Amino acid sequence: MKPIIARKTAIIAMAALAAALTANLASATTVDDEARQAVVHYSDLDLSRPEDARRLYTRIRRAAREVCENFRSGDLQRTQIYRQCMDKAVTDAVAKVPSSQVAAIAGADIQHLPKR
C-alpha cells in the first residue's frame, strides 16, 4: 500500500499549477490517478491592492481544497497526504502569480499553520 501512496504523492508533487495572465490552475491527483484541476480567475482583481491580493489567495486556497478533497479523511495517513496536497497546490499556485503581495500573504498564512 505504501508504494501506491508514495506514487500518488509524487504525482501530486509533479502536478504543476499553470498560470496565465488571467487564470491560475490548482491541480492534484485523484485516487484513480486522474488529474483534477480548478481554474482560479483573477482578471477582475488588481493585485497591487492588498484586499484583492487577499481575495486571490482565498480563491487559491478554496481551489486547492476542491482538488485535494479526495484525500480528506479521518485516517491519519490520508490526512497527511491531504495536507501535503494542499501545501503543494497552494505553494505552486502562489509561485505562478506575479504578485509579491500574494506571496507575502501566503508566507504569513504558512507561519500560522500548526506544525505537522
pLDDT per position as a tens digit, 60-97: 999 999 998 877 677 788 888 888 889 989 999 999 99
Mean of per-residue pLDDT scores for the chain:
74
Number of domains in the chain: 1
Query: From CA 81, how far away is CA 116, in angstroms rounded?
Result: 12
| Beta bridge pairs of residue 37 | 27
Query: From CA 34, how far away is CA 27, in angstroms rounded?
Result: 10
DSSP string, 16-75: ---B-SSEEEEEEE-TTS-EEEEEEE-TT--TTSHHHHHHHHHHHHHHHHHHHGGG--SS
Give the residue numbers spanning the domain of 65: 2-112
What's the distance, CA 40 to chain centroid?
11
pTM of the model: 0.66
